[in-house]
Amino acid sequence: MSADLQHEGRSFQSERTDDAEDQGPIARLVSSGMIEHGGVVVLELEAIRARLGERWPYKRSQVWETIEHHLSRRLRPEDFHAQIGETELLLATGDSREITLARALNIQKELLTFFLGRQLPRDLKISQVVSIDGDLMVSEPIDRQTMARAAAASQTAHPAATQPGEAAKAWSALSFLTTEGHDVELTFEFERVMSLDSFAGAAVRVRPVVWDRASGLRMGSDWRKGLAFVDELNIDLATLDAARPLYVETLARKVIVPCSLAALASIRGRAGLIGRMSRDEAAASASLIVEILGVDGGTPAGQLVEASSVLRRHCKAVIGRTDLSRTGLQVLKEGQLAGLSVDCSEFPDADRALLAALWNVGKLAKPVAKLLLTLGLPSMDACRMAQAVGATHASMRQPLTAGLAAA
């Protein structure tokens, strides 16, 4: 949702008070009760406009389109946001004041890091909406002390070392708190990917698995959707670390490592991931295949092209994960990738229904890329069906190994 609201000191005033569309955000906030418990804030993104300078008028719509796409992954259905003015973002949640501020600060840091490659303290500016008087939205700047407390709370996004002095090895413990404060554990499975030409092993895919430590339950296949940028980056770095022994010790072995586009699309994330690959540049160039996750119909094609072109200098090949939506497939086609992978782990087991699902995969995905990987099929018979509809590679759901030796 958006509203054309003009910034006036410590308040935001509607430019056209008789327009129902402009009154939408204000009316919703008044009826929600979010202001009373401190759940409404305004994020200042002026640093992005300042960096773009004279290019801002031409880049403004693209910047806000990217921000909307990021928020669609970071916010919950019950949250509310609106663009107000040129560089102000209104965020309203049902959380307490402290949690709302911590979430807003993390989002602001992510956006600044994505667009600028860094986030400086002077650019972290958030205001608290304290009241609405008619069509006037009044806000007060958050002071430095409150921002510092929120910054401390946001540090839970980083994994904690298990022993003093082991910060550099924090991810070896594989347990951490996400930005949203969820206590989770990260483990890895190693998936054998076979060529459907010979039904011989062609690669090993490293698969990160996230567990909810409170319940001990494994999180579902869509667990990445609610993660912050920094969480996705840290998981990607940990996955590369888990894959390293596989491709360094055996150069002939092809290793597939999933990496999120959210991490690759930012300067900081790309630098971190490329830095990991550059530690063993010859081995990575000979063996490592990067599988880009998080691409959908709303992804700017140029963002994917840039990420894949940078990666190709440091690894053997780049493929993309598809959700089979036509718009998402079009983005992947424009991304100049070597192939596509499809998650088949939740496809039906019954032969007829499975064949129909695989036929749909072949119909939609095969024209987009030369290589088509159908991952997580229920049986060898299913792999033969995948071969019949045009897939080039496949893996089965079981058995998946938890150790490098078995991989």
Is the pLDDT at 152 greater than 90, yes or no?
A: no
* Same structural domain, 122 and 6: yes
Task: Answer with the one of 156, 191, 212 that is the final residue of a domain.
Answer: 156
233-243 residues labelled b (16+ CB within 10 A) or e (exposed): bbbbbbbbbbb
Contact between 194 and 379 under an 8 Å Cβ cutoff? The reply is no
Average pLDDT, the chain: 79
Q: Is residue 406 part of a domain?
A: no
Which residue, 295, 383, 396, is CA-closest to 345?
A: 396
- For residue 367, the domain's CATH number is 3.20.20.450
Collapsed DSSP state (helix, strand, coil) of residue 45: coil
Residue 178 half-sphere exposure, CB side, CA atoms within 13 Å? Answer: 23
Q: Mean pLDDT highest for which of 96-110, 181-195, 282-296?
A: 282-296
Q: Is residue 161 part of a domain?
A: no
* Same structural domain, 389 and 337: yes
* Same structural domain, 347 and 249: yes
- For residue 132, the domain's CATH number is 3.30.70
Q: Is residue 55 part of a domain?
A: yes
* Same structural domain, 205 and 285: yes
* Same structural domain, 233 and 372: yes
Tokens of 232: 């996705």
* Same structural domain, 136 and 197: no
Is the pLDDT at 140 greater than 70, yes or no?
A: yes
pLDDT band at 3 (very low <50, low <70, confident <90, very high): very low
* Same structural domain, 298 and 222: yes
Contact between 217 and 210 under an 8 Å Cβ cutoff? The reply is no
pTM over 0.95: no
pLDDT for res 205: 94
Is the pLDDT at 299 greater than 70, yes or no?
A: yes
Task: Answer with the one of 101, 132, 156 that is the final residue of a domain.
Answer: 156
Is the pLDDT at 162 greater than 70, yes or no?
A: no
Q: Is residue 407 part of a domain?
A: no
Task: Answer with the one of 98, 126, 156 that is the final residue of a domain.
Answer: 156
Collapsed DSSP state (helix, strand, coil) of residue 141: strand
Q: Mean pLDDT highest for which of 13-17, 26-30, 229-233, 343-347?
A: 343-347
Q: Is residue 376 part of a domain?
A: yes
Please tell me the distance from the alpha carbon of residue 150 to that of residue 285, in angstroms, as a whole number.
41
* Same structural domain, 136 and 56: yes
Q: Is residue 401 part of a domain?
A: no
For tokens 């011989």, name the residue: 200
Contact between 82 and 66 under an 8 Å Cβ cutoff? The reply is no
Tokens of 204: 């090993």
Q: Which residue has the higher pLDDT, 140 or 27?
A: 140
pLDDT band at 142 (very low <50, low <70, confident <90, very high): confident
Is the pLDDT at 163 greater than 70, yes or no?
A: no
User: What percent of the chain is predicted at pLDDT more than 90?
Assistant: 28
* Same structural domain, 285 and 338: yes
Q: Which residue has the higher pLDDT, 73 or 368?
A: 368
Which residue, 326, 329, 339, 376, is CA-closest to 354?
A: 376
For tokens 């056209």, name the residue: 16
Is the pLDDT at 159 greater than 50, yes or no?
A: no
Is the pLDDT at 291 greater than 60, yes or no?
A: yes
Question: 371: exposed, middle or buried (C-beta count within 10 Å: 0-12, 13-18, 19+)?
Answer: middle
Q: Mean pLDDT highest for which of 174-183, 215-224, 291-300?
A: 291-300
* CA distances (Å), origin 133, targets 36, 94, 129: 13, 21, 11
Contact between 56 and 120 under an 8 Å Cβ cutoff? The reply is no
Q: Is residue 237 part of a domain?
A: yes
The total number of structural domains in the chain stands at 2
* CA distances (Å), origin 350, targets 214, 346, 377: 35, 12, 12
Q: Is residue 134 part of a domain?
A: yes
Of 5-14, 107-116, 161-170, 280-289, least confident by mean pLDDT is: 161-170
* Same structural domain, 99 and 171: no
pLDDT for res 25: 64
Please count the other Cβ atoms lying within 10 Å of the Cβ belonging to residue 316.
Answer: 17
* Same structural domain, 192 and 309: yes
Per-residue pLDDT, averaged over 116-126, amounts to: 79
**Domain span at 190:** 167-396
Is the pLDDT at 17 greater than 80, yes or no?
A: no
Please tell me the distance from the alpha carbon of residue 250 to that of residue 237, in angstroms, as a whole number.
20
Please tell me the distance from the alpha carbon of residue 43 to that of residue 39, in angstroms, as a whole number.
13
* Same structural domain, 69 and 90: yes
pLDDT for res 401: 59
pLDDT for res 369: 83
